Amino acid sequence: MTAEPTTTPSASAAPADPGGEASRQHTLRERNLRLVARAVYDAAAAAGTRPDTVPPSRADVAAATGLTRATVSTLVDRLVAARLVAELPPAPAQRAGRPAVPLVPASRTVVGLGLEVNVDYLGVRVLDLAGEVVAEHVERGAFHDADPARTLGRLGALAADAVADVEAAGMRVAGARLALPGLVDARTGELEVAPNLGWSSLDPVPLLGLRDLPVRVANEAKLAALAELAGDVPDSFLHVSGDVGIGAAIVVDRALFLAERGWNGEVGHVVVDPAGPRCTCGARGCLEQYAGKEAVLRAAGLPADAPLADLLARLDDEDGGGTARAAVERAARALGSALADFVNLTGVSTIVLGGVYTELLPWLAPDVHAGLTERVLAAPFAAPDVRAARGGKFAALTGGAREVLRDVVADPAPWG
Amino acid sequence: MTAEPTTTPSASAAPADPGGEASRQHTLRERNLRLVARAVYDAAAAAGTRPDTVPPSRADVAAATGLTRATVSTLVDRLVAARLVAELPPAPAQRAGRPAVPLVPASRTVVGLGLEVNVDYLGVRVLDLAGEVVAEHVERGAFHDADPARTLGRLGALAADAVADVEAAGMRVAGARLALPGLVDARTGELEVAPNLGWSSLDPVPLLGLRDLPVRVANEAKLAALAELAGDVPDSFLHVSGDVGIGAAIVVDRALFLAERGWNGEVGHVVVDPAGPRCTCGARGCLEQYAGKEAVLRAAGLPADAPLADLLARLDDEDGGGTARAAVERAARALGSALADFVNLTGVSTIVLGGVYTELLPWLAPDVHAGLTERVLAAPFAAPDVRAARGGKFAALTGGAREVLRDVVADPAPWG
């Protein structure tokens, strides 16, 4: 044999060294560059949730990384020259010496693209390193059973327009993530099946026709969850998005949990009652049949395709809203049971509710909390926390663009 | 502020550099030492499942790590001198030059201790780096509501005896893991509650009285799962141990999944039927009420404390075993439903069944498989795999000792 030690992951050891360059100096310099970039970007992320903080100086970065002031200064200069980090006007010096220069993520220099095909829209969103949207285009449509080549071709054209615009403004495009509402293999990026689009066994990237842009594919619920990281969330949470189906993503230590092929978070098909109604998946009593959007609307006496506003209006109707409130309570009890299973199985105790659940949260909360309190074994020691999603509209576009930029910060050397 | 960037974990970036010594040469040497140690140990682990492989030579390690032959040779010499790696007699040379010296984990040099208090035994097991048991002592008893100080004191005395024995034989003890059947905080090692021992809010380590030995505490089901890694398992799996309660541990990429405080794998309290029998946890219809050992024995018409052999005898009784077989089928259907929830939620598709389930597997398998096939959404693309545990008796002792030794290999420098 030839030993294959580095292909067998080991739990606590240092990460493998794929290039086999562990002992070479330039790798060490690149690693330090990554440490410095991360110090600036992590501080910016923390400042996003604590407005009283100020950006770090070179001295702060040296203290945080353990690198010497001279090394940090050289590496920061390199990141500034590469336009990945920007310098703000110096703050007044607190001690003798030169005033400290605050370091922040650069604006409108390197950008990432979020792309999405969903059942009723195509979307493109361009984010810069500072987290600002610098371009966006969302086109409404009906893409159930739409032709993949035509649909992805149209999205590719929208993306190419956006790229041309931002490049004309002097920005560099790092890459794109394509969000699809289906089973995407996290290892290969292939789409196995997207039932609501009627697509299956597809390699979607070539159909975009974006030859010069590196594009990777991911499940839309997974990318939508990452949009929450821009706000004040714990490092680990379950993001559940309620619609006709119920999508979810598990974030652990600020990264997507993607064991094996990343096919997880199927909260909608957790067993609520083995004697319950037949689900579209073929099994009985799945959560979707109680808490999916259509199931709730029907139980509330509304058409399955009624807008959410109609349901909200009925819930507010003190006299006539009894049926609607009963429907939402039934959904909430089922949701509490399924989410308790999730917390018991994974130990992740924060639940972020998105999609239609965000607006329904005031009505859902009491029964969801009751179910979690009754069923989560560790609840006396770590009470589960249920909160509304804050990722905003088309969150998968934001999450996708963030993923692209995260890779830039994680390995800034090629941008220098 | 002072920036705190390294305290905010980032997903894809390199690991933080806690000592802040990224740029110092001795850290680089230690990192290379880790790479070399891991190459030898990973190859040994792979060889455990592929008997036709031979141990790597220095040249193989150089190829696997990307380090130079000279660097590898120096580092291997250091590991041999530290008695962490041993050299086998040279294999005949396949080409011109000196014959290659096969490198293997050292036997009977550095050892790790697994300790355990469980409901009906205290245990100590000592493993060497080659994975062999070099000492073991299991003492039967009844520890429900036992005094913690007395019980842990007794276990500590057994451990001290084992340490004295192996040290007298020239071995060095790296540390110990204490397995307890309860909720252990993965961050602090404190025991919140162990219902079957009647213990709560306890710091167990001082009560062992092992002053010079570093001891860490973990849940016994978690450590038992790690014993599977000695055999031929995929990198990610769920290990379920059936007894009166149903414990479980999630292994992802060969390490325990420990989000937040590590309180996960409570498969026994997944909802099987909301109208089902009341569980000891207070909720209704938990898996434990269908597939826990006592529930199965009772449904089979046996006393709740009957030995498993009695149930197995009835299952084999072609004429009179109908009630027993119906009880096990009911358990298997419930288990299939709960495990399907697990696979749908986590994407981990291999289930290893331990405890009483190992021997019951032939009777459980058809209905467990049917439940998984019916309910797991990704089953057509990645069929779930159910298999018997192979960690053997008192697997938590093996898993605990392995954890200690894993830390030695992950950071071998202090042993040199």
The domain that contains A198 carries what CATH number? 3.30.420.40
Q: Does B267 touch chain A (CB under 8 A)?
A: yes
Residue B16 resides in a domain? no
- Measured between alpha carbons, how far is B287 from B265 in angstroms, rounded to an integer? 12
Lowest mean pLDDT among A150-164, A313-327, B186-200, B324-338: B186-200
- Within chain A, how many helices (H) and strands (E) appear? 12, 15
The burial class, CB within 10 Å (0-12 / 13-18 / 19+), for B170 is exposed
**One domain for residues B200 and B160:** yes
Do both A176 and A281 map to the same domain? no
Domain identity same for B406 and B320: no
For A34, the domain range is 20-105
Alpha-carbon distance of A233 to A389, in angstroms, equals: 10
Q: What is the structure's pLDDT at A188?
A: 87
Q: Cα separation of B87 and B210, whole Å? A: 34
Among the partner residues B60, B67, B340, nearest to A22 by beta-carbon distance: B67
Q: Is residue A2 part of a domain?
A: no
Q: Tally A–B CB contacts below 8 A.
A: 328
Enumerate residues 6+ apart whose C-beta is below 8 A from A366.
Answer: A332
Give yes or no for a contact between B300 and B311, defined as CB atoms under 8 angstroms apart. Answer: yes
Whether A406 sits inside 8 A of B10 (CB atoms) is yes
For residues A123 and A394, the answer to whether their CB atoms sit within 8 Å is: yes
Asked if A116 contacts A394 with a C-beta cutoff of 8 angstroms, the reply is yes
**Rounded CA separation B398/B402 (Å):** 6
Residue B3 in domain? no
**Is residue A244 domain-shared with residue A299, that is, in the same domain?**
yes
Nearest-Cα residue of chain B relative to residue A24: B67
Q: Average pLDDT, stretch A181-192?
A: 89
Residue B21 pLDDT: 40
3-state secondary structure (DSSP) of residue A390? coil
| B102 contacts in chain A (CB < 8 Å) | none
Residue A221 and residue A154 in one domain? yes
Kindly identify which residue of chain A lies nearest to residue B334, measuring between CA atoms. Answer: A274
Q: How far is B103 from chain A (nearest CA, A)?
A: 11
Report yes or no on B4 lying in a domain. no
Span B221-252, pLDDT tens digits = 999 999 998 888 999 999 999 988 898 999 99
Give the CB-side neighbour count of residue A77, counting CA atoms within 13 A.
Answer: 6
- Minimal CA–CA distance to B224: which of B258, B193, B197, B249? B249
Q: What part of A 225-264 touches B (C-beta under 8 Å)?
A: 235-236, 250, 252-264
Contact in structure between A376 and A385 (CB atoms under 8 Å): no
Structural domain tally of chain B? Answer: 3
Asked if B22 and A377 come within 8 Å (Cβ–Cβ), the reply is no
Q: What is the pLDDT confidence band of residue A71, given thresholds at 50, 70 and 90?
A: very high
Residue pair A246/A267 in contact by the 8 Å Cβ criterion? yes
Last-in-domain residue among B105, B134, B169 = B105
Same structural domain, B67 and B87: yes
Domain identity same for B114 and B157: yes
Bridge partners (DSSP) of residue A84 are none
**Claim to verify: residue B384 and residue B284 sit in the same structural domain:** yes
Asked if residue B156 belongs to a domain, the reply is: yes
Residue type, B352: V
Mean pLDDT, rounded, for A201-215: 94
Residues of B in contact with A345 (CB under 8 A): 250, 264-267, 270, 341-342, 345-346
Q: Does A40 contact B at CB distance below 8 Å?
A: yes
Of B6, B236, B257, the CB nearest to A64: B6
Q: Does residue B2 sit at the A interface (CB-CB below 8 Å)?
A: yes
Burial code (b: 16+ CB inside 10 Å, e: under 16) for B229-247 equals bbeebbebbbbbbbbbbbb
A51 near B CB under 8 A:
no
Contact between residue B130 and residue B83 where contact means Cβ atoms under 8 Å apart: no
For position B6, what pLDDT does the model report?
33
Q: Which of B2, B19, B267 sits opposite A63 (nearest CB)?
A: B2
pLDDT score for B17:
44
Of all residues in chain B, the percent with pLDDT exceeding 90 is 75
Per-residue confidence (pLDDT) for residue A26, from 0 to 100: 60
In a domain, residue A3? The reply is: no
The long-range contacts involving B206-212, CB below 8 angstroms and separated by at least 24 positions, are B207/B148, B207/B149, B207/B152, B207/B153, B207/B156, B208/B115, B208/B152, B208/B153, B208/B155, B208/B156, B208/B159, B208/B178, B209/B153, B209/B156, B209/B157, B209/B160, B210/B156, B210/B159, B210/B160, B210/B163, B210/B176
Residue where a domain stops, chosen among B88, B105, B122: B105
Strands B350-355 and B133-140: unpaired
Chain B residues with CB under 8 Å of A6 CB are 38-39, 42, 64-65
Subunit contact A46:B8, Cβ cutoff 8 A: yes
Q: B36, B266, B374, B404: best mutation site toward chain A, by most A Cβ within 10 Å?
A: B266
Residue B8 lies in a domain: no
Say if residue B74's pLDDT is above 90.
yes
CA distance A7 to A16: 8
**Cβ <8 Å between A377 and B260:** no
CA distance B198 to chain A (A): 16
Token pair of A179 as six digits:
């969000």
Q: Which of A149-153, A283-287, B166-170, B185-189 has the lowest mean pLDDT?
A: B185-189
Closest approach of B362 to chain A, Cα-based (Å): 24
Q: Are residues A204 and A175 in the same domain?
A: yes
Residues A272 and A144 occupy one common structural domain: no
Nearest to A353 by CA among A238, A250, A220, A264: A238
Same domain, B348 and B384: yes
Say whether both A370 and A246 belong to one domain.
yes
Averaged pLDDT score across all residues of chain B: 90
For residue A34, what are its two tokens? Answer: 């990554």
CA distances from A291 to A245, A282, A334, A337, B321 (A): 9, 17, 7, 11, 42
Give tens-digit pLDDT for A78-90: 999 999 999 999 8
> What does the buried/exposed string (b/e) look like for A21-60 if buried means 16 or more CB atoms within 10 Å of the residue's CB?
ebbeeebbbbbbbbbbbbbbbbbbbbbeeeeebbbbbbbb
Q: Is B404 contained in some domain? A: yes
Supply the CATH number for residue A67's domain.
1.10.10.10
